[in-house]
Structure 1
């Protein structure tokens, strides 16, 4: 899968070191509920679980590595969590290396995932969320057409304590192809 400046590939075992480095960055961890891994083994276990998800008969989770087309630099990961088939919906998420923040890559990646959800997977609805203090992610989601539908109070267990979480939604008929 690709977009204008980026390529997306399902996570593989060869992504371990780059994924581990991404997970060790304190700025990346600020709004992430996973926390900083204690060892590369923790990251390997996480990666192995994500790879196993891709091998299931009924895939419910897809996790992609994101790389620059020019230079092949690893810049982050993103994913789709599919809901029950009857509801025709999914949730999107992303995590980027701060060296690549504020360059439009997150907007480009979410836009590409939306295309996958609505065109390739024929979904009716896509959801996303972010901590209310995560202003950059909120802006990205709004640029991509998501609408804030509510706030879940003290929903995210961050290292700084419980955080409120914006809940976003986007329907296929609202999506700007």
Structure 2
């Protein structure tokens, strides 16, 4: 497996492994982290395993198109979330990010710190031109993270997210390599 790490003061983002299954399953089964997520709560760890096995396989490819990182606390190696970076057609030099943070770590700056680091990785290491993200319009915590990380709201897609509560509109965000970025 490739050894790709993104380090911040408090966290290490590294490609997920099967040994992360229990931490990822716990994260996916939290109702509060599922509220604005279309994945749904898995019935058991086997379902979570079937979800992450393609992510792990993708991380092993020579040319990764969908990075899936475990976010670890550098003090104790606790997995506190997941972060994804999906690359689009190479011609357009575009990527899309997503993240899911364990609710024990909400409102402590971890998501913002991780997003800033992934944005830097995307522009500096992968030579992307544009990084995009979306979030449900009612997911105030998530769009605050996107905005604190320098992303700009560009629009609103109507009823695009199939959530448990029904179809949700989605705010679309992006940042360009030429935009000013907050420091990590």
Equivalence for 1:38: 43
What is the aligned-residue RMSD (CA, Å)? 0.9
Unaligned runs of 5+ in 2: 1-5
Structure 1 runs of 4+ aligned residues shifted over 3 Å read none
Of 141, 144, 147, 1:139 maps to 144
SS at match of 2:72: strand
Of 129, 144, 148, 2:134 maps to 129
After superposition, the C-alpha distances for 1:38-58 in whole angstroms (9 at most, x for unaligned) are: 111110011111011112233
Equivalence for 2:164: 159
Give the deviation of 1:156 after TM superposition. Answer: 0.2
Inter-partner Cα distance in structure 1 for 2:180 and 2:88 = 19
Deviation larger for 28-37 or 69-78: 69-78
After superposition, the C-alpha distances for 1:111-160 in whole angstroms (9 at most, x for unaligned) are: 00001000001110000000000000000100111111100000000000
Inter-partner Cα distance in structure 1 for 2:178 and 2:101 = 29
Of 168, 172, 179, 1:174 maps to 179
Of 70, 79, 83, 2:88 maps to 83
Give the deviation of 1:71 after TM superposition. Answer: 1.4
* TM-score, structure 1 as length reference: 0.98
Of 83, 102, 118, 2:107 maps to 102
Give the deviation of 1:166 after TM superposition. Answer: 0.3
Inter-partner Cα distance in structure 2 for 1:18 and 1:97 = 10
SS at match of 2:124: helix
Inter-partner Cα distance in structure 2 for 1:175 and 1:156 = 30
Inter-partner Cα distance in structure 1 for 2:27 and 2:58 = 21
Unaligned runs of 5+ in 1: none
* TM-score, structure 2 as length reference: 0.94
